[in-house]
């Protein structure tokens, strides 16, 4: 033992046990203790993995629902545009169909951006 350093309770127990065991038994005991520590570490990592897995799974499922909702909104917007297509085409100076679709996509994108900004400000924790 080094000068000035007090012996810990763990070191005292280790000395007592070591006196009673043969070197072979001592090595076996140390191996078993190491195995127990490894198992504890694995259990800790496994529980962390399970938590992270559940979190990612929840994110995945939420994303899937958001995707389905986006497809439903797309269909709703398409049917709305199809219903009022003649009126929209008359209002727009562009008469080509693909340009009308681009202009509509642009307008819907702007509305989506505004909605996202407003929702993020409303739902921001204070």
Same domain, 56 and 102: no
Beta-carbon contacts of 100 under 8 Å, excluding residues fewer than 6 positions away, are 88, 89, 92, 94
Residues 76-111 pLDDT 10s:
988 887 887 777 777 777 667 777 778 778 888 898
Number of domains in the chain: 2
Residue 64 has pLDDT above 90, yes or no: yes
- How far from each other are the two terminal CA atoms of the chain, in whole angstroms? 57
Residue 1 has pLDDT above 60, yes or no: no
Same domain, 61 and 92: no
**Residue 1, domain member (yes or no):** no
Same domain, 58 and 30: yes
Instruction: Provide the residue range defining the domain that includes 110.
Output: 84-126
pTM, rounded to two decimals = 0.48
**Residue 78, domain member (yes or no):** no
Residues 22-63 pLDDT 10s:
888 888 888 888 888 888 888 888 888 888 999 999 999 999
Same domain, 14 and 59: yes
């Amino acid at each position: 033992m080094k000068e000035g350093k007090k012996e810990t309770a763990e070191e005292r127990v280790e000395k007592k046990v070591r006196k009673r065991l043969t070197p072979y038994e001592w090595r076996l005991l140390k191996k078993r203790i190491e195995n127990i520590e490894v198992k504890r570490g694995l259990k800790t990592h496994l529980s962390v993995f399970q938590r992270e897995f559940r979190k990612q799974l929840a994110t995945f499922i939420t994303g899937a629902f958001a995707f389905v909702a986006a497809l439903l909104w797309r269909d709703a917007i398409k049917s709305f545009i199809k219903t009022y297509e003649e009126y929209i085409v008359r209002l727009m100076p562009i008469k080509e169909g693909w340009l009308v679709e681009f202009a509509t996509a642009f307008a819907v994108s702007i509305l989506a951006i505004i909605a996202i900004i407003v929702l993020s400000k409303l739902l921001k924790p204070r």
